[in-house]
Structure 1
Amino acid sequence: MTQWLSRVQTPAYVADIEALKQNLAVAAHIKHETGCRILLATKSFAMFELFPLFAQGLDGTTASGLYEARLAHEHFHGEIHAYSPAYSDQEIRDLLPFCNHLYFNSLSQLERYGPLCRAAHGERSQLGLRVNPQLSLVKNNPDLYDPSAPGSRFGVFKESLTPEVLATVDALHVHNLCENMAEDSVRLIHHLMNVMPDALEAVETVNLGGGHYFTHPDYEVMALIEAINMLQARFNVNTILEPGGALTFNGGYLVASVLDIVDDRAVPIAILDVSPTCHMPDVLEMPYRPEVVGDSPQGRHRYVLAGKTCLSGDVVGTYAFDAPLQVGGKVVIKDMLQYTIVKTTTFNGMPLPDLGVLEEDGTYRVVHSFGYEDFKHRLSKMPMPLLTESTLQEFQTALHWPPFG
């Protein structure tokens, strides 16, 4: 790691091509053993420089809105699926020219926009309806991440799947997991077969959504394969998976530099040129403690790794290293592709990290760098002209304000 790391200007996200290919190999194995289709969920990862790599092993993408779908149309060239809790009239009009796989969250949206899709794409149109299976399986912060939590806005209940409704759709969409292991994937599939067999028999396709963490070392891939094959054989349906995190799990890094060390605390604080709230928000939202290269339970030198924003809780966590950190030295945070690049902010004027690629031969290249203009143009277009003394007096008079001073 030392050779390529020395060439990285921080902060930088680094996509590891070798690791990503290993993840794609797992997806290819699932596809081969089941015949299912697998889509990249661009809400998790949308670094389109790497879309050609993902397109080699996947069937397309699934978008959460117009911009993600358009990006896939321009750079992925596979199937484009889209789901949103609600579409606007304009969004549907803009989606239809290049997206014929549309999933709706409610009966009212299906009734409103389904006919437009049928008219635009004819026999090529594929309409789906999201179903809430009312099966809570998400364990990490379920109030934030569980699609089946009480009061969830996602999907219709099985009671709404009348023969009349099912006659208008081609697919059922069930996205109900978040970083779940195989036992939960299997439980979800068996639950669907048990509670809504009539609905499964009425459609051509079942989209099992994402959250199947099939590249995690603890995930039993064969259990998923067997469950998918059982579902397909029993109900004669096609199946789709929409992973995001699974395809980029441990697929890259966020490389930071140590800017300062506050050493008059019980545990010294290393302030980095990256920020959890800006560059890895799930560390605070999920929350979780990411792995860091060199961290060891036996490490004699402990540090709190912290960001440089004004947010008091902008902290990565406490880590221990065999050697002391040095100002100017680098820190490599693992598993920093999923839900990072797509969620970055420039809060406090923090620079956006470079986007880089680590090739299989160990070479490193920068895909894109960001600067002040990227920060500026998210905030406004053109500033108001500075007020002269005369125009300021005119302005005060027009608003009936008393003079300043």
Structure 2
Amino acid sequence: MAAHATTMNAASRKSAGSGPLVYRGQALHFEQVCLESIARAVPTPFYCYSADAIKTAYGTLAEALKSVGVSVCFAVKANGNVSVLRLLAELGAGMDIVSGGELARALAAEVPASKIIFSGVGKTRTEIARALDAGIHQFNVESEAELAAVIEVAASLGVRAPVALRVNPDVDAGAHTKISTGKKDDKFGIPFESVPTLYAKACAAPELDPVGLAVHIGSQILDFSPYRAAYSRIADLVRLLRAQRLPIRRLDLGGGFGIPYAGGPTLDIGEYANIVRETVGDLDCALTVEPGRWLVGRAGLLVTEVLYLKGTAEKPTAIVDAGMNDLMRPALYGAVHPVFPLKQHGRGAHTYQLAGPVCESSDIFGTYAGLPQLQSGDRVAFGCAGAYGASMASTYNARDLVAEVLVWGDKFRVIRRTQTVQDLLKLEEAGEWQGSLDHAATELRSAS
């Protein structure tokens, strides 16, 4: 859906009558906390998460997958706030990371290193060494060159590295092209036909402990049929490798479960569990999934304040104080998030284009019907903003990096304070000059 498409927002607001987001009187509450009371204490824009919604999502997923013996590792890239990670870890989740920074966040959240999986196509040798030193569960290796780097680092440290090879199954997940990861032309994973040779090489390397295979076909997947196709291919590959006497103990099945941004029913995780059971359930492998958005997406809001109203050729535009630097998904993917006024009132039903203050034409959140008449100072909340919101935020236009708030029952607390431009300017204090052009030129001549 394009970012400029009209969203029938009245239907979205009706969904605020269940779960943690509900109107009491005229005021929108998250769990038992009035969002206006948070906005009076925390400057807008800010992210707000419901602990209850995260707990409910994790419990639903873990219960559905228990019958097929699947463990859950949260995809940290979806939301890396340490308080969120700690909450998920306390519920029993492991972590799927894609950088050394995410490793540091997971460890800071007191996640056992033995429950951390390191994915991603561009692991540096420094990151590999830190992960080996921490004692992580496994690396999901994405290329022959990366496998060589893991061997090199493991040898230098005198340890064995647990590795799984990430397979590219050439399966189209049907998601947005920018979040597709399982087709042959995507940058992720090892070509299906190249896996047997490379896995045999891994098994022959004394520095490695080859544990199995991994696969991840994309994000925001709303149809389970691509999983069946991908897992069936992986099952065939497991049987082929075992026929060559190569051991396979683990399968990482990836994540990518989508959520209904425009309202409607959620995915039936029981159906997904049946697919796992029917495709890989008889392989006697330890199974893991790596959801991110499904666990935290619906648990988050971005609260913002209307700055100005202005007329345009076809519709009124409300300029809000949140921008594309705070919530990148509409500009990057054409995503449309539901919108909820923090106060209900009887000023009729109106249509507005909601736009941010960033100096880019793409800083548009969408066009929303069914809103009350907005005025400067009114506040609204973008829903389904718990995943890929704060984690993708930036300080573009020298804007502050927004705060994050966690709600638990009738209490809330700031779990990341606003990072101001004054904080950032401290990072830009110039250091001492080092070296010289003449010195660099001498080194280049010597090298040649």
Cα deviation, residue 280, structure 1: 1.2
Moved more, 74-83 or 369-378: 369-378
- Would the alpha carbon gap of residues 117 and 62 (structure 1) be closer, same or farther in structure 2, given more than 3 Å must change? farther
Q: 2: CA distance between counterparts of 1:200 and 1:179?
A: 33
Match of 1:217 in 2: 265
Q: Is the 8 A contact 2:82 2:109 kept in 1?
A: yes
Q: Is the 8 A contact 1:214 1:220 kept in 2?
A: no
- Tell me the TM-score normalized by structure 2: 0.77
Is residue 2:106 matched to residue 1:59?
no
Q: 1: CA distance between counterparts of 2:79 and 2:242?
A: 30
Q: Is the 8 A contact 2:172 2:226 kept in 1?
A: no
Whichever residue aligns with residue 106 of structure 1, its letter is S
Q: 2: CA distance between counterparts of 1:166 and 1:128?
A: 9
Alignment of 1:69-108 (within 5 A): 69-78=103-112, 79-100=115-136, 101-108=138-145
Give me the identity figure in percent.
21
Whichever residue aligns with residue 233 of structure 2, its letter is H
- Tell me the TM-score normalized by structure 1: 0.85
- Would the alpha carbon gap of residues 280 and 199 (structure 1) be closer, same or farther in structure 2, given more than 3 Å must change? farther
Cα deviation, residue 217, structure 1: 3.2
Q: 2: CA distance between counterparts of 1:7 and 1:83?
A: 36
Give the gaps of 5 or more residues in structure 1: 386-405
1:341-370 deviation per Cα after TM superposition (whole angstroms, max 9, x unaligned): 111111112222211112223x33222322
1:198-224 deviation per Cα after TM superposition (whole angstroms, max 9, x unaligned): 137741111011203389934121221
Q: Is the 8 A contact 1:28 1:57 kept in 2?
A: no
Q: Is the 8 A contact 2:399 2:421 kept in 1?
A: no
| Count of residues paired in the alignment | 378
Cα deviation, residue 40, structure 1: 1.0
Match of 2:352 in 1: 303
- Would the alpha carbon gap of residues 219 and 179 (structure 1) be closer, same or farther in structure 2, given more than 3 Å must change? same
Q: Is the 8 A contact 1:158 1:196 kept in 2?
A: no
Alignment of 1:182-201 (within 5 A): 182-194=224-236, 197-199=239-241
- Would the alpha carbon gap of residues 89 and 50 (structure 1) be closer, same or farther in structure 2, given more than 3 Å must change? closer
Match of 1:167 in 2: 203
Q: 1: CA distance between counterparts of 2:94 and 2:158?
A: 18
Match of 1:321 in 2: 370
Q: 1: CA distance between counterparts of 2:413 and 2:149?
A: 47
Q: 1: CA distance between counterparts of 2:349 and 2:164?
A: 55
Match of 2:66 in 1: 32
Q: 1: CA distance between counterparts of 2:242 and 2:96?
A: 21
Q: 1: CA distance between counterparts of 2:107 and 2:158?
A: 16
- Would the alpha carbon gap of residues 7 and 148 (structure 1) be closer, same or farther in structure 2, given more than 3 Å must change? closer
Is residue 2:41 matched to residue 1:5?
no
Cα deviation, residue 18, structure 1: 1.8
Is residue 2:221 matched to residue 1:180?
yes
Alignment of 1:76-155 (within 5 A): 76-78=110-112, 79-100=115-136, 101-114=138-151, 116-117=153-154, 125-140=161-176, 142=177, 144-155=178-189
Q: 2: CA distance between counterparts of 1:227 and 1:199?
A: 22
- Would the alpha carbon gap of residues 200 and 187 (structure 1) be closer, same or farther in structure 2, given more than 3 Å must change? farther
Moved more, 4-13 or 207-216: 207-216
Structure with greater strand share of residues: 2
Q: Is the 8 A contact 1:4 1:364 kept in 2?
A: no
Root-mean-square deviation (Å)? 2.8
Whichever residue aligns with residue 220 of structure 2, its letter is E
Cα deviation, residue 126, structure 1: 2.0
Higher relative contact order (CA 8 A, sep 6+): 2
Cα deviation, residue 131, structure 1: 0.8
- Would the alpha carbon gap of residues 233 and 306 (structure 1) be closer, same or farther in structure 2, given more than 3 Å must change? closer
Q: 1: CA distance between counterparts of 2:95 and 2:155?
A: 21
Give the gaps of 5 or more residues in structure 2: 1-27, 205-209, 434-448
